[in-house]
Amino acid sequence: MNRTIELVKTIYEIKQLEEFSEPQIALAGRSNVGKSSLVNRLAGRKTLAKISSKPGKTRSLNYYRVNPDGFYLVDLPGYGYAKCSKTEREKWGKLIEAYMTANPGLKAVVVLLDSRLTPQKLDLELTSYLRGLGIPVIPVLTKADKPKQRDRAALQNQWKDILQQSRLPLAFSSKTGMGEDKLWNILAEYAGMAAPGSDPDEPKGDIEPFS
């Protein structure tokens, strides 16, 4: 399927939040983990999501509509690096919390994890928070072309055990396209656009929800 992605809404404050009838899947991760690069790779465009040399520049909720499916990818501010005031960080936190806790359209959160790093405290806190809210977690290891395959596999198994999931986190590379088709299949599945088991690389009936 040929998909396009377009930025349709940018939100900076809680009062700007509104309900959408279409399903939403959020993208979350540490600053500099590669969220903007992932969005651009999926969009087939290099400049849809702005990539800065200074991590932590995303300071809003950015709604990207996926066509023709009709669901939204919502890019959340990165965490753990941004050089900004404590007041501003608290503002982001409250905005993200309001989005997460009062949003029946949110179907899952893609948590982006750097494949070159062992599990980080902030990543563990985020996944624990999401699981506590009952929001499905889709773990994706970014920059997967960087580490050795053996090291990447070990990290995949480590996160699989931490999250108590039935399948390994997806290995993804914005540079090479590794995992791109599988990620689209997973996104479509959680957005309700594809039946479980529709991934041609997975045995039918073998896909179980992340939790």
Instruction: State yes or no: pLDDT of 197 exceeds 70.
Output: no
- 172 inside domain: yes
- 123 inside domain: yes
Amino acid sitting at position 171? A
Per-residue pLDDT, averaged over 31-55, amounts to 81
- The total number of structural domains in the chain stands at 1
Under 8 Å between Cβ of 105 and 79: no
Euclidean distance between CA atoms 62 and 18, whole angstroms: 13
Label residue 28 exposed, middle or buried (CB < 10 Å: 0-12, 13-18, 19+): buried
Peptide bond into 68 cis (omega under 30): yes
Q: 98: domain range?
A: 11-190
**pLDDT for 22:** 95
Instruction: State yes or no: pLDDT of 200 exceeds 80.
Output: no
Residues paired with residue 156 on neighbouring β-strands, in sequence order? none
Chain segment 131-141, per-residue pLDDT in tens: 999 999 999 99
- 106 inside domain: yes
- 197 inside domain: no
Provide Rg for the chain, Cα atoms. 16
**pLDDT for 53:** 45
CATH code of 24's domain: 3.40.50.300
- Whose tokens are 């404050």? That residue is 13
Lowest model confidence (mean pLDDT) among 126-130, 192-196, 197-201:
197-201
Q: What is the reported pTM? A: 0.86
- 140 inside domain: yes
Q: Where are the alpha helices (DSSP H) in 52-209?
A: 86-101, 121-133, 149-163, 180-190
Chain segment 79-127, per-residue pLDDT in tens: 765 555 666 667 768 888 999 997 999 999 999 999 999 999 999 999 9
3-state DSSP: the chain helix, strand, coil percent, rounded to 5? 30, 20, 45
Instruction: State yes or no: pLDDT of 56 exceeds 90.
Output: no
- 70 inside domain: yes
**pLDDT for 15:** 92
